[in-house]
A and B are shown apart, each in its own frame.
Chain A
């Protein structure tokens, strides 16, 4: 009973209240039906935030899991394994805000002809490339090509920082999973006639897939909740808003509680199925 009470007070009530507020106007005085949801799905700023979140979800998750797996596999083969792993994992240990500040400096931009204090532009101009306002620009670097929707350079620059931070996490978990695969099995596959790639594809990957799923789920939820890094580096400007930053702005800059609540509900609706799937998978694993 206390558990039920606890869940009601701290989980169910806030959710229901948020849901309620999302159907009301900016200061919750008047019921306005689905207007706030109409905003979320039709307003161009809100749409761009949703699309940016989709970009985060896909690109961030795929890259962090992929690179994490790559580092996990490679680090197992080098002699200075512990050091290599530590190097990849360190970003995880830094506060996200501090990391965002660091990367603001890395991406810092000054117009052509001025001294570049940003490491990347300093290096770029050092080899004769033009400086790029990484956190502002939309066209692909060093081209005039502007891709539609969230596929903008500044978004990529932000996702890259997220990947930099989370690859270490993916690597550590996946590498522990790799260590759990007995070498006998890999040797059996070798004797059976599998090459390196086939061993990876047909033995390591499937055996590791539950671990990959856990890591991916964690990262997907991270991607959906992404706030800190975007807020510190661009504050959502230049069309880099994600749902969480937009929600923050609606709430505290524009004091529109209704829209903020609607954004929160959409975010929750996106996360909930992922949580449920992973809980179910977790249960299924417990049973076998």
Chain B
């Protein structure tokens, strides 16, 4: 049982900065997901923690132990590889027992532990098989089992679901969450799939180009992304971005996108004031753009859900998902996606009117990509910082 602390960790491969000034506190028993696009340095960060790569700068602690120079085998970690990396010449039982037998664990204890893990993962009947006689999903569970029997302080998982088919992936996601609760151990999980991150993580760290972009609970990242990268990466379908001018008209402050404009809600006025007569990046999630005919409950009556200026847009493509419809829309030269009520009957080529729920607007500085937060949002951010600092780890 232990937390993990990365302190200003940097890893270079030649000129490539794979991990750059990486600082992250992971509390004991947390399910931390490191998410980011391919090549963002997630695996490298995990491998640094595992002891498979050497750190160039900075420190890593597991519990209160500095582990920079501790060999992988003495770090109290177990790792599940994307390829599962099962030993091909050993049976499932031997695969799971290997780590224990290296530690000279008594035979009967090895047997008990392997059988218990096999029971948890429902692979008891596979114990005598060789890896090549297993399906992808079974191999994946054996790889998990091999990690479980070691009773590590920290579990490291590098894209363990990416070789499974879509249906199995959804099942295994739930299985992993349950396993985490059952074991009560720290999980550090790497994935490029933000859905996996959102569904399993107790906390998410978003990475891009070797740098942590934001750390927070899934809901925090979704509601209050710190920058345009996180805003675009978290959430599916991805957030719409518009280049907008902030203008002041007779009805108050507006975001002007040439072909249409939307009013700025009252609580954003002061935050956006410094950007008056300048450009910002305006962000709107597809689920916050509604068909005018089917406004969600609460939106019609609520003054903040501004319906004063519905936007006319032409439907280009419709994607029926069952309980919702994705509309690919064009307004002038701006394309965007709306996720609307399934009763919407719009056909490609038709014009419809959509409403931007400005309560859920996002604004970013177009130069830095940083979010332009309101005072209230900033307050939440500071609150979050305090929570993180209160985690009891050595410095």
Q: Name A's B-contacting residues (CB within 8 A).
A: 182, 184-185, 187-195, 198, 202-203, 206-207, 209, 288
CB nearest neighbor in B for A203: B87
Tell me which residues from 65 to 83 in chain B have a Cβ below 8 Å from any Cβ of chain A.
72-73, 77-79, 81-83
Bound Cα distance A108, B280 (Å): 88
Is B183 an interface residue, CB under 8 A from the partner?
Answer: no
Q: Name B's A-contacting residues (CB within 8 A).
A: 50-52, 72-73, 77-79, 81-83, 85-89, 98-99, 102-103, 132, 146, 150
User: B52, B77, B78, B150: which contacts A187 (Cβ < 8 A)?
Assistant: B52
Q: A24 → chain B, closest Cβ, in Å?
A: 51
Bound Cα distance A99, B73 (Å): 48
Contacts of B99 in A (CB 8 A): 192-193
Contacts of A203 in B (CB 8 A): 87
Contacts of A206 in B (CB 8 A): 89
Q: Knowing A191-B72, A191-B77, A193-B103 touch, does A185 contact B88 (C-beta < 8 A)?
A: yes
- A191 touching B89 by the CB < 8 A rule? no
Q: Knowing A192-B98, A193-B99, A194-B102 touch, does A187 contact B85 (C-beta < 8 A)?
A: yes
Contacts of A288 in B (CB 8 A): 132
User: A182, A184, A191, A209: which contacts B73 (Cβ < 8 A)?
Assistant: A191
Bound Cα distance A203, B99 (Å): 12
- B87 touching A189 by the CB < 8 A rule? yes
Q: A214 → chain B, closest Cβ, in Å?
A: 16
User: A184, A193, A195, A207: which contacts B81 (Cβ < 8 A)?
Assistant: A184
Q: B92 → chain A, closest Cβ, in Å?
A: 14
CB nearest neighbor in B for A208: B89
- A192 touching B81 by the CB < 8 A rule? no
Q: B62 → chain A, closest Cβ, in Å?
A: 13
Contacts of B88 in A (CB 8 A): 185, 207
- A192 touching B150 by the CB < 8 A rule? yes
Bound Cα distance A96, B51 (Å): 48
Bound Cα distance A198, B101 (Å): 11
Q: Knowing A198-B102, A288-B132 touch, does A191 contact B78 (C-beta < 8 A)?
A: yes
Bound Cα distance A192, B98 (Å): 7
Bound Cα distance A207, B132 (Å): 13
Q: B32 → chain A, closest Cβ, in Å?
A: 18
What is the interface of chain A mostly: helix, strand, loop, or mixed?
helix
- A192 touching B132 by the CB < 8 A rule? no
User: B51, B85, B89, B103: which contacts A188 (Cβ < 8 A)?
Assistant: B85
Bound Cα distance A188, B52 (Å): 10
Would you list 24 pairs from A and B whose C-beta atoms are within 8 A, ordered by A residue? A184-B82, A184-B83, A185-B85, A185-B86, A185-B88, A187-B79, A187-B81, A188-B81, A188-B86, A189-B98, A190-B72, A190-B73, A191-B73, A191-B78, A191-B79, A192-B98, A192-B146, A193-B73, A193-B99, A195-B73, A202-B98, A206-B89, A207-B87, A288-B132
Bound Cα distance A57, B26 (Å): 60
Bound Cα distance A198, B71 (Å): 15
Bound Cα distance A288, B133 (Å): 9
Bound Cα distance A194, B77 (Å): 13
- A190 touching B52 by the CB < 8 A rule? yes
Contacts of A202 in B (CB 8 A): 98
Extra contacts, 19 of them, besides A189-B87, A198-B102 (Cβ < 8 A), are A182-B83, A184-B83, A187-B81, A187-B85, A188-B79, A188-B87, A190-B52, A191-B50, A191-B51, A191-B52, A191-B73, A192-B146, A192-B150, A193-B99, A193-B103, A194-B102, A207-B87, A207-B88, A207-B89
